[in-house]
A and B are shown apart, each in its own frame.
Chain A
Amino acid sequence: MPRYRKNPPGVDPKLLIKDAAKLLPAPSRRLFLRGALSLGALSMLTGCDIVDGQTSENALRVISRFNDRVQALLFSETTLAPEYPESAITRPFPFNAYYNEDEAPDIDGDTWQLEIGGLVDNKKPWTLPELNALPEVSQITRHVCVEGWSAIGSWQGVKLSDFLKMIGADTRAKYVWFQCAEGYSNTIDMPTALHPQTQLTLKFDHKTLPTAYGFPVKIRIPTKLGFKNPKYVTAMWVQNNDAGGYWEDRGYNWFSGQ
């Protein structure tokens, strides 16, 4: 039998529709079907019970993992994201997170350190002045949100592939995992980490990264959707196990490449 789930208490379904990605669904919530019309129509079409909870959710997740592999195959280390002129920059560039802008972590740049771990030769943590002293690269690229909207921004920082080599990271490892100050996290695949446009970002539009955009460090990955671009980064680990991520664990496709 199709199961009907009530909204979690305190969640206004209208709000959910308005801003699906910003609201936190309880982990137990089903990802797929809701609504009598869809349920009825699909049951009629298929004549079987594919709308029943766990079975179809598992099937969808299996296909999503298959799509991860397809996207990894489509990904090319030499295909660059289009770059734009300064005039194309979206102003103001939108703040976006699962919390309000005034709740964004306010980090003290003097005491902050980037912790390095995993399959890396030199695990010495990095201070902000040390990172700022490294050679700078710049890009004006399009940030595409999983919700569909997009915005063009200007980012400066250190080429992540150079940084990984500098610290003696084992680039044969499968993943790079990022931990963020507010509890957010992302795991990305090594080919993406080594992509020429993947950047350890310290500036937005040639000015120190503002709090809204991830001070002190954001990882800018123009070949991935926005939520795979962590902000307020506090730690980076090179590893062979997939540590998942904040939204990935909540149902968004893991690879989420562009």
Chain B
Amino acid sequence: MTIEAASHSPIARETASEPLIHPLWVRVTHWINALAMFMMIGSGWQIYDASPLFRFLHFPKQIALGDWLAGALLWHFAAMWLLVINGIIYVALGILTGRFRRKLLPIRLRDVASDFVAALRGRLAHDDLAVYNAVQKLLYLGVLLAGVLIVFSGVSIWKPVQFKWLTAVFGGYDRARYVHFFAMASIVAFLTIHVTLALIVPKSLRAMIFGRADGER
């Protein structure tokens, strides 16, 4: 049987008519979030450089956004609206539609361990993109929490007087800066894995664009 024939087999057709892996609202909020994250992280690096937290870490201008501090701050405090409004819509729909509960829960420690070992051996199944393995669940939930943390720590740095109670939750202004930094670092670490895996398993990327793994609308 040739490859062409295979693509017209009943199995292929059945795949095409399967329900959406990612509904439209997930895809739209995902890509808006990608753009907002890109702007927030790029400008955040430039802002970091104005007063670095670590002697050894400095972000090259070529990968930062905003030309100099004032421009980076303008980008940061513009993109924050996109990030937060889009984030609220995403989280609200994730909870209301039950998608978070369905997709991300439960996470069992034993599953995480076995799926992690399987992933390292390259034996993790990707047959059904609609079902997340335990490592994926943990990472997606983790980055959601990092997203919440980065917004709240960011607000506490922006408004340490008007929202001083929030700044106090993070242990004061200076500590809140570190929390904000490490939340960024976690998100960047996640993105590195996330983007690498999306490129290794291209049908997952197609699913996030078209909703279905076979690329049909």
Q: A31-B70, A45-B34, A45-B35 are in contact. Are A38 and B77 (CB under 8 A)?
A: no
Query: Which B residues are CB-close (under 8 A) to A21?
Result: 50, 69
Let me know if A257 and B160 touch, CB within 8 A.
no
Q: Interface 1/0s, chain A 24-45, versus B by CB < 8 A?
A: 0100011111111110011001
Beyond A74-B162, A79-B161, whether A32 also contacts B69 by CB under 8 A is no
The one of A16, A25, A36, A63 in contact with B62, judged by C-beta atoms closer than 8 angstroms, is A36
Interface of A is mostly: loop
Most buried by A among B60, B64, B177: B64
Indicate if the CB atoms of A148 and B48 lie closer than 8 Å.
Answer: yes
Q: A32-B66, A82-B164 are in contact. Are A60 and B173 (CB under 8 A)?
A: no
A59's closest neighbor in chain B, by CB? Answer: B78
Asked if A32 and B65 sit within 8 Å, CB to CB, the answer is yes
For residue A243, CB closer than 8 A to chain B, the reply is no
Q: Please determine whether B63 and A38 come into contact, CB atoms closer than 8 angstroms.
A: yes
Cα-based distance from A142 to B71 in the complex (angstroms): 25
B7 interfacial by beta-carbon distance below 8 Å: no
B67 close to A31 (CB less than 8 A): yes
How far, in angstroms, from A75 to B173 measured CA to CA in the complex?
18
CA distance A33 to B74 in the complex (A): 11
Using Cβ atoms and an 8 Å threshold, which residues of chain B touch A16?
A: 61, 68
Q: Does B42 reach chain A (CB closer than 8 Å)?
A: yes
Residues of B within 8 A of A29 (CB): 67-68
Q: With A64-B74, A258-B160 in contact, do A17 and B61 touch (Cβ < 8 Å)?
A: yes
Are B34 and A38 in touch, CB under 8 angstroms?
A: no
**Interfacial chain A residues near B158, Cβ < 8 Å:** 258
Over the window 66-97 of chain A, the binary record of Cβ atoms lying under 8 Å from chain B Cβ atoms (1 yes, 0 no) is 01000000111001111000000000000000
Query: Does B182 count as interface, using CB distance less than 8 angstroms?
Result: no
Residues 41-67 of B contacting A (Cβ, < 8 Å): 42, 46-51, 58, 60-67
Binds B, one of A106-114, A170-178, A212-220, A245-253: A245-253
Q: Chain B contacts of A148 at CB under 8 A?
A: 47-48, 50-51, 157, 177
Q: Mark A133-157, 1 if CB is under 8 A from B, else 0.
A: 0000000001011111110000000
Instruction: Report, as a range, how many residues of chain B touch the other chain.
Output: 35 or more
Residues of B bordering A, CB below 8 Å: 34-35, 38-39, 42, 46-51, 58, 60-71, 73-75, 77-78, 81, 157-162, 164, 173-174, 177
Q: Is the CB of B77 within 8 A of A25?
A: no
| Nearest-Cβ distance from residue B13 to partner chain A, whole angstroms | 33
Is A230 positioned at the interface, with any CB of B under 8 Å from its CB?
no
Measured CA separation A35–B66 after assembly (Å): 10
CB-nearest residue of chain A to B42? A38
Q: A29-B68, A32-B66, A142-B160 are known contacts; what are 12 more A-B pairs with Cβ within 8 Å?
A: A17-B49, A20-B68, A33-B67, A35-B62, A35-B64, A42-B38, A60-B74, A75-B162, A142-B173, A148-B50, A148-B157, A251-B70
Whether the pair A253, B50 counts as a contact (CB closer than 8 A) is no
Chain A residue contacts of B177, Cβ below 8 A: 148
Q: Across the two chains, which residue of chain A brings its CB closest to B52?
A: A148
In the complex, chain A residues whose CB is within 8 Å of the CB of B74: 31-32, 60-61, 63-64, 251, 253
Q: State the Cβ distance, A76 to closest chain B Cβ, in Å.
A: 6
* Chain B residues near A82 (CB-CB < 8 A): 160-161, 164
Q: Which residue of A lies closest to B80 (CB)?
A: A67
> How many angstroms from the CA of A19 to the CA of B71 in the assembled complex?
14
3 closest Cβ contacts across the A-B interface?
A: A31-B71, A251-B70, A148-B51
A45, B46: Cα distance in complex, Å: 20
Contacting pair A33 B65 (CB below 8 A): yes
Tell me whether A34 and B73 are in contact in the complex, defined as CB-CB below 8 angstroms, given that A21-B50, A148-B48 are known contacts.
Answer: no
> Which residues does chain B contribute within 8 Å of A25, judged by CB atoms?
68, 70
Could you tell me the distance in whole angstroms from the C-beta of A153 to the nearest C-beta in chain B? 14
Task: List, in ascending order, chain A residues with CB within 8 A of B38's CB.
Answer: 41-42, 45
